[in-house]
Structure 1
């Protein structure tokens, strides 16, 4: 029976680990149901993936497509974490050169579906010509995608929103009251690359619009329990199937082995009192400026809380600006905190009972991992969707944003210290601690996550079968 057929799904994420990891989580959930997944990325990124559980490894084929060389992109730079922010445009150009290799791979492997991210806006057209169904999976939650708007406007040479200021208010297609919008400093940091029609490269807005337009369905990292109104907005905007796939909580597998790095980190955390440590980390994309690092450090110091700070001093070896801590900071905080400039297992740190709060950039994977572990959030946004994520969390009293200057985004160490103590210690911040615990079931309920994946698989089968019946899809 067609309903029992094992599906073969190709998953093709953008070259950022904030995108690769949730795509891998979805791959694991699909493989758990007995379906085959070809997970496609570049060689270095495939080699840096977390280890797969042994029972899933036979069902997830890791496929390496060499990244074409382009001028100005350094050798061995295959992910956003390898390069400064101003070089990401060259990474996208190299990624676009994968069109032919991807077409050849799809033609030879004959999958039923391909799931793709926002950057390869060209995948849907390639898949359609080969008779393969395509699903756009941008990894952003539904409020972010709804705020961005309809594909026709995102792709237009004369969009409705031409100036940065127009992104600081909710758009007219949101039919309910909301504060979800960028703050001025947030949109100014990304407007030229993401939305400007005059951008000499393909803008992120165009990539997203074309990805929606060229796909058969759209998958969103959302759940109806948390954001039903936003999902409905997307259905109205896209006029095609929009499927929520749950929040895809992280499920790291290490084979039961503790590596040396985690062993010393755990030893330090074990010595701290329960719920007292602030964990500070801003993901693989965000890099504060030197001035911002100074104010964060002094703020953490003034809070008088124990801290564990994962500080990326460079975005890869080609980043000329190496961040430095304020003079005397490490001496003054000796014994009270840890600054880790290398790899750290975020999920394990957040799961430790001594951690009582998370100072985060609001990247959605980090948000979900915090909620998994019931850690209240202090928010400090830097790039891309982070501002919109922060507004969602603020609205629901799940996170508190450090006060900042609206024009340039600057902030003072006193605000950092006060925000940390409010969310982690003070009585008036109890709402943030309680809301995180309250929302945990919506985000990481294992049975509900399984149901979302079951519904997805059912829809993929039904959609493909309907296409086959009406002759809209060529069968191999």
Structure 2
């Protein structure tokens, strides 16, 4: 049997998805396998550079995104558009079906690893004799909470009200707090309702899992063994943890002006004193929330570095603004960055001690990689479920909020930051992150997960391709 694979990867059009897909692609290519990484031209151009040794093994396949009414020109990722425009991005993504089929027919891959959105892909791949793996960038706890494919696809009466998403599910056989809080669910309730594509996100998710040959999960059995068992039980097919996939950006050695200015400021701060504030490429606070965050940072009296985005894409009409005089009042103690910032380099800096984050899993993994304490403020998608896991394990502390509308005060922001960063009662959060670091970033363990996964892919290739 030929032990070399050709694997196609087809992530959803969000950088929080594309980056973990690229990390797994690099680990697979490292073993000499060929990767075709499929996305749109602008997204591929914005991905991190590959290490030179992997360039011959990873081919970026650029499929132009079809034009869809209500989707702005050049909008190719979730970060380019306001939240309410994302359904039109899914519609355009569905329009990649024909060009993707033509590529698959001409390139004859062994496997395709795909995301939660292309519910139409598994039957196409099956007809073409290509084996399929649903690769989840969501954790096993998130998948376990969402439930069996039949539930996701609407064939079950288990979950019909918002409240039913705020408690553990009947298929989870152990006590857990992993569930949405009411306000978290209401912010993502559209994922169980029809949008402009006439297909719910939950249906997409369920169909992608149901019709896959196997499932790969960004997880490791030492971190959430009970959840991986739940997922295997409810999916009734092989489930492979592929590790936490910490980001490994290739450093070209070139320092941008942004990083030079950032580093020079961080170098002047006391070790472990700075709180880094960033909410990822998708989460955007409301103006009211932003004002409370800003005033909370002010009241905390700790130094901070804030990556501040005032809109999601150029067509976002709801521009949020910092409170009047905020930057002047915090000058010297705080720095607000209004452009892209190199998150890995910032988190790696010794002066950074804590991270006020939206709980996106890539950001969580990067924080653990550099032993930064976590202050949690969720906004969208799986972030609430991630926060519950971190809370259960004492790895992060969530800012107190109103259960119904999610509102919070500047006082609770300041108090939470100080608790996690400096107070004695928050010491557990600082210590737990250090405990879990080895589990998340150990290279040998990461390679072992990928090797087990690859052994399966090689031995279960379609027979006619051997």
Q: Is TM (by shorter chain) over 0.5?
A: yes
1:368-407 paired onto structure 2 within 5 Å: 368-407=365-404
1:296 aligns to 2:255 (yes or no): no
State the partner residue of 2:322. Answer: 325
- What secondary structure, in the 3-state scheme, does the structure 2 residue paired with 1:55 have? helix
State the partner residue of 2:454. Answer: 457
Separation of aligned partners in 1, 2:146 and 2:228? 13
1:342 aligns to 2:339 (yes or no): yes
State the partner residue of 2:85. Answer: 87
Aligned with residue 21 of structure 2, among 17, 20, 23: 23
> Shift in Å at residue 198 of structure 1?
8.8
- What secondary structure, in the 3-state scheme, does the structure 2 residue paired with 1:58 have? coil
1:274 aligns to 2:268 (yes or no): no
Aligned with residue 207 of structure 1, among 204, 207, 215: 204
Separation of aligned partners in 2, 1:180 and 1:187? 13
> Shift in Å at residue 200 of structure 1?
6.7
> Shift in Å at residue 201 of structure 1?
2.5
> Shift in Å at residue 257 of structure 1?
1.8
Moved over 6 A (4+): 197-200
State the partner residue of 2:144. Answer: 146
Separation of aligned partners in 1, 2:385 and 2:18? 21
Q: What do the CA deviations read for 1:296-347 (whole angstroms, capped 9, x no partner)?
A: 0000000000000001111000000111001111111011111111100001
> Shift in Å at residue 207 of structure 1?
0.6
State the partner residue of 1:313. Answer: 310
Structure 1 vs Structure 2 CA RMSD: 1.2
Aligned with residue 196 of structure 1, among 193, 209, 222: 193
User: Structure 2 length normalisation: TM-score?
Assistant: 0.98
> Shift in Å at residue 5 of structure 1?
2.2
> Shift in Å at residue 157 of structure 1?
5.2
1:60-75 paired onto structure 2 within 5 Å: 60-75=58-73
1:106-125 paired onto structure 2 within 5 Å: 106-125=104-123
> Shift in Å at residue 196 of structure 1?
2.8
Aligned with residue 136 of structure 1, among 130, 134, 137: 134
> Shift in Å at residue 260 of structure 1?
1.6
> Shift in Å at residue 121 of structure 1?
1.4
> Shift in Å at residue 439 of structure 1?
0.5
Separation of aligned partners in 1, 2:35 and 2:109? 9
> Shift in Å at residue 138 of structure 1?
2.1
1:151-170 paired onto structure 2 within 5 Å: 151-156=149-154, 158-170=156-168
- What secondary structure, in the 3-state scheme, does the structure 1 residue paired with 2:215 have? strand
State the partner residue of 1:50. Answer: 48
1:363 aligns to 2:360 (yes or no): yes
- What secondary structure, in the 3-state scheme, does the structure 1 residue paired with 2:394 have? coil
> Shift in Å at residue 261 of structure 1?
1.3
1:260 aligns to 2:257 (yes or no): yes
Aligned with residue 423 of structure 2, among 422, 426, 435: 426
Q: What do the CA deviations read for 1:355-380 (whole angstroms, capped 9, x no partner)?
A: 00000000000000000000010000
Call closer, same or farther: CA 1:158–1:244 in 2, change over 3 Å: closer
Separation of aligned partners in 1, 2:378 and 2:198? 25
The count of residues paired between Structure 1 and Structure 2 equals: 466
8 Å contact from structure 1 (residues 157, 197) kept in 2: no
User: Structure 1 length normalisation: TM-score?
Assistant: 0.96
Call closer, same or farther: CA 1:198–1:278 in 2, change over 3 Å: closer
8 Å contact from structure 1 (residues 25, 250) kept in 2: yes
Once the two structures are overlaid, the 10-residue window that deviates more, 404-413 or 258-267, is 258-267
1:442 aligns to 2:439 (yes or no): yes
Call closer, same or farther: CA 1:305–1:399 in 2, change over 3 Å: same
Separation of aligned partners in 2, 1:208 and 1:162? 17
Separation of aligned partners in 1, 2:182 and 2:151? 21
8 Å contact from structure 1 (residues 147, 171) kept in 2: yes
Q: What do the CA deviations read for 1:140-187 (whole angstroms, capped 9, x no partner)?
A: 010000100000111125542011110000001000010000000000
Separation of aligned partners in 1, 2:98 and 2:157? 31
Once the two structures are overlaid, the 10-residue window that deviates more, 415-424 or 252-261, is 252-261
Separation of aligned partners in 1, 2:71 and 2:302? 41
- What secondary structure, in the 3-state scheme, does the structure 1 residue paired with 2:160 have? coil
* Structure 2 alignment gaps of length 5 or more: none
Separation of aligned partners in 2, 1:198 and 1:446? 41
Separation of aligned partners in 2, 1:457 and 1:48? 28
Once the two structures are overlaid, the 10-residue window that deviates more, 310-319 or 197-206, is 197-206
8 Å contact from structure 1 (residues 162, 196) kept in 2: no
State the partner residue of 1:471. Answer: none
> Shift in Å at residue 254 of structure 1?
2.3
8 Å contact from structure 1 (residues 359, 379) kept in 2: yes
1:221 aligns to 2:218 (yes or no): yes
Call closer, same or farther: CA 1:89–1:197 in 2, change over 3 Å: closer
Q: What do the CA deviations read for 1:195-217 (whole angstroms, capped 9, x no partner)?
A: 13698721111011000011110
Separation of aligned partners in 1, 2:82 and 2:269? 35
